[in-house]
Amino acid sequence: MGIERFFTQIAKLQRNVRVSNNAGSFRNSWVDIRTLDGRLDGVSGNEQLVAHKITHNSTHIWFCEVIEDITTDDRIVVDDVVYDIIYIDDPVYKGNHLEIFLERKEIEQL
């Protein structure tokens, strides 16, 4: 049995894409591109992610199966709460699961 047995939550993976407004112009909009089974976990107040010598403050981590088409330009929505993707990690490069470091967005930031 692998880590997948702990993936009891569902998230929406969203991507910001240009869409037509059917009047000849375009606008950017967040669209759902897939659902993810996984587990959301909070990060304690003194934990920080250090990547590429830049310190990022993450509020949560999303654990899920390995997917190839996810980027830090995407975002994750869990229970109608939006999280920006800060960093994507494949621990020890085993291809077992991803740990996606997130920052919770406040309503006024959306």
22: left (phi over 0), alpha (psi -120 to 50) or beta: left
Name residues whose C-beta falls within 8 Å of residue 107's C-beta, 6 or more positions apart in sequence: none
- In terms of CATH architecture, what is 3-109? Beta Barrel (2.40)
| Tens of pLDDT, residues 61-90 | 999 999 989 999 999 999 999 999 999 999
- The pLDDT score that the predictor gives to residue 53 is 42
| Tens of pLDDT, residues 2-52 | 677 788 899 999 999 998 888 889 989 999 999 999 999 988 755 555 554
- The pLDDT score that the predictor gives to residue 86 is 93
